[in-house]
Structures are given as structure tokens and as C-alpha cells.
Amino acid sequence: MKKIICSMLLGLMTTMSWASEKVWCVFDPLSTQGDISRRLHDIRLHAQNSQVQLKFKTFKNENEAIHAFDQKECSGLVASNFNTYRYNQFMGSTSGIGLIPNNRTARVFLQLFTNPNVEKRMIGSEYEVVGMIPVGTVYMIMNTQKIQKVSQLKNKTIGILVDNPPQLALAQSVGAKPVYVDFANAIDLFKQKKIDILGAPAYGVLPYNLKKEFGEATQVVNFPLAYFAVNIVIRPQGYPAGFGQNIRTWFVKNSHVLAAQAIQWENQLPAYYWADISAYEKQGYDALVMRIRNRFVASGYYDAYFVELIKRLRCLDEPKYIECRR
């Protein structure tokens, strides 16, 4: 009888431990009023199905959020796909140059989150990725004269992230001058004309009047360089079995809503900011980005399975893309 009672008490204590608060360190440049934080509240409600109560510790500076997670102040991290590469190569590769080309492909990728071949690559012994919030395609934002050719990028200063070898290689391949930036100072450096070109999603510049605050020559080149998303990483040891799959199921069910939000952000950027390039020059950009990307696939920097998966998804959406032609 004592064994039965002890077993019941142990089970109750275990259930109560799962129901206790789990803290996630969240990077949201707009703090708790930002769209990322609002989306996380929906996830928090869904997490209660697993008897997990989520609490968010929000940071406007991404490096501070990552540091707090690394110091185990939080059991979860919500940060950019560029800077969560260290925790999961497969999901970190979502930020790869020339890979996810648009929000449509990102939506289809989200729909595969419970596919066994995809899901097993999101789970590691120490870290597990439970979701990805799409933010949008990364474009070249310029405050210099109109650039219509790859050759015109020579000697221009381009903002790149620290510890991102593909971005450095891409800048060097066109003869540009790389300047290291992070999400905390990139916009200020661009406004101060310390960099000519900044890679960013439309969401990142929506709060600004580009021509008034950055200069009359400011334009957004309508060519995808990479994809910006927010990955959710946890230490699975602190969560009940099946928690990660439960959250990934939420992302599958809400993939259309999440992608539609990213599309809406891009559509909010006024048409007069966009600059199109010719089909001929676009082929040149595509070939250049493809060469750099493939170099880092061969070196093992980008996850090979992810690259092949996205290539298949892209060819379904964009059969005329350079790697899809027969």
C-alpha cells in the first residue's frame, strides 16, 4: 500500500513540476509590444496542453538573450535563425544565402515540421528546435545610387553578421567592403551612412520612413538574398516527453497564418521603395549566390539534407530557377 501511495505522490509531483513555469529568453526588437511577442502568446496557450506554463523574458538586444540562455537563465530561446545555427545546424541553415527564396516556400517548409525525416533533424541530445516564426525574405537595402549590375557592388560597404562565413564570402566575391554589424546597431550604421548596403527583411525597416530617415536614394532591391526567421530552441530535458512535437504540430496547423503575416509585412512597404533588376542581371545574381552557397554545402557548413529539401520545394514553386531547369 505504501508503495502505491508513494508512486501516486511521485506521479503527482512530476505532473506539478511540468506545470511549473518554463522561462524562454525572447529576442524581439520591439520588446513586448512586437509581433514576435504577440505570436508567442498564442504558443503559450497551446503549450498548456502539455501542462507547461511558459513565461517570457524579453530582450531588445539579441546578444543579451543568447547570453542569458547560455547561462541557463532560461530553458528556451527565441532568436534569429542566423544566430541559432550553433544550437541546430539543420534549422540554422534556414538563414542560408540562396536557400529559402520567399514566404511561400517557408510556409511549405513549416508544413513538414511533423514529417519524421524533418523532425528528427530538429532534435539533438542537448537542444531541440520546436518552431520557426517566419519574418520574411532578406533583401539588399541601399542608400547609394541605383545599382543595376553585380559589378556596381564593387567597393561598396556591406553590412554582414559576425561569425557568418557565407556572408563574408559573398561580399568579397563582388569586391565589396564588408562591415560587421549586429541587429542592435545595423540600422544606426545604415542611417549614419557608415554602410552603403544592408541586408534586411521588409519587417526590419517598416517603422522607418526610408527616404526621410536614410536618404532620398534609398531603395530595396527586389532580389532574395536569404530568409529571416525566428527559431525557438529549448533544452528538452526540462520538458515532458512529446512537448516538442506538440509545439511543432501548432506550427504545422498555423503555417498559412504565419506565412501570410510575413507576406503582409512585405506588402506594407510602399511600391516606390522597390527597385527591380533585369532578368539578365537576376540570372547573374542567382549564379553568384548559388556558387557561394554550394561551396558552403560542400564544406559542411550548411546542412546537406536541408539544402536538397529546399531545392525541391523551390523548384515546385519556381520551375524556371537556374537549378530547376532540365
Please name which of 259, 247, 230 lies closest in space to residue 130, comparing C-alpha atoms.
Answer: 247
My answer on whether 235 and 105 are in the same domain is: yes
User: Are residues 248 and 124 both part of a single domain?
Assistant: yes
Residue 306: inside a domain: yes
Provide mean pLDDT across the span 79-105: 96
* CATH code of residue 101: 3.40.190.170
| pTM, to two decimals | 0.90
* Same domain, yes or no: 16 and 113: yes
- For residues 286 and 106, the model is more confident at 106
Please state the rounded mean pLDDT for residues 42-48. 96
Contacts of residue 2, defined as CB under 8 A and 6 or more positions apart, other chains included, come to none
Let me know if residue 322 belongs to a domain: no
In this predicted structure, what is the pLDDT of residue 210? 87
Residues 108 and 214 in one domain: no
Inter-residue contact 126 to 194 (CB < 8 Å): no
108 and 39 fall within a common domain: yes
More confident residue, 149 or 239: 239
pLDDT in the model for residue 151: 78
pLDDT digits (tens, 9 = 90+) for 134-145: 999 999 999 876
* Domain assignment present for 15: yes
Average pLDDT value for residue range 287-299:
93
Task: Supply the pLDDT for residue 14.
Answer: 45
Is the pLDDT confidence value at 37 over 80? yes
C-alpha pair distances (Å), 89 with each of 6, 304, 305 = 43, 10, 11
Band (34; pLDDT cuts 50, 70, 90) = confident
For residue 190, the domain's CATH number is: 3.40.190.10
Confidence check: pLDDT of 10 > 60: no
Per-residue pLDDT at 1: 52
In terms of domains, do 48 and 166 share one? no
Q: Which of 47-51, 113-117, 211-215, 314-318 has the highest mean pLDDT?
A: 113-117
> How many residues appear in the chain?
326
| Nearest CA-CA partner of 208 in 71, 30, 18, 1 | 30
Residue 20: per-residue pLDDT: 66
- Do 91 and 149 share a domain, yes or no? no
DSSP assignments along 262-321, one per residue: HHHHHHHS-GGGEE---HHHHHHHHHHHHHHHHHHHHTTSS-HHHHHHHHHHHHHH-TTS
Same-domain status, 108 and 253: yes
End-to-end Cα, the chain, rounded Å? 72
Number of domains in the chain: 2
**126 and 244 co-located in one domain:** yes
Average pLDDT (77-84) is 97
Q: Are residues 175 and 283 in the same domain?
A: yes
Which pLDDT does position 18 carry in this prediction?
45
Least confident of 16-30, 67-81, 180-194, 216-230: 16-30
List residues bridging with 78 in a β-sheet: 26, 232
Question: For residue 211, is pLDDT > 90?
Answer: no
Given a cut of 60, is residue 6 above it in pLDDT? no
Contact 27, 80 (CB under 8 A): yes
CA distance 185 to 168: 18
Would residue 326 count as lying in a domain?
A: no
* Domain assignment of residue 260, yes or no: yes
Nearest-angstrom CA–CA distance, 139 and 227 = 9
CA distance 174 to 197: 13
48 vs 168: CA distance, rounded Å = 42
CA angle 18, 80, 192 (to 5 degrees): 140
Q: Name the residue among 186, 201, 187 with its Cα closest to residue 135.
A: 201
Task: Give the three-class secondary structure for 153.
Answer: helix
- Strands 177-181 and 274-275, by their bridges, are unpaired
Determine the pLDDT at residue 9: 45
pLDDT at 156 > cutoff 80: yes
Q: If pLDDT is split at 50, 70 and 90, which confidence band does 33 have? A: confident
Give a yes or no: residue 155 inside a domain. yes
Strand boundaries in 126-189, DSSP class E: 128-142, 157-161, 177-181
Residue 325, in any domain of the structure: no
Best-predicted range by mean pLDDT (73-77, 145-149, 179-183, 187-191): 73-77
Does one domain contain both 97 and 209? no
Do 129 and 35 share a structural domain? Answer: yes
**What percentage of the chain has pLDDT greater than the value 70?**
92
- The residue range of the domain holding 297 is 138-227+274-317
Q: What is the mean pLDDT of the chain?
A: 90
Give the residue, 293 or 29, on which the prediction is more confident: 293
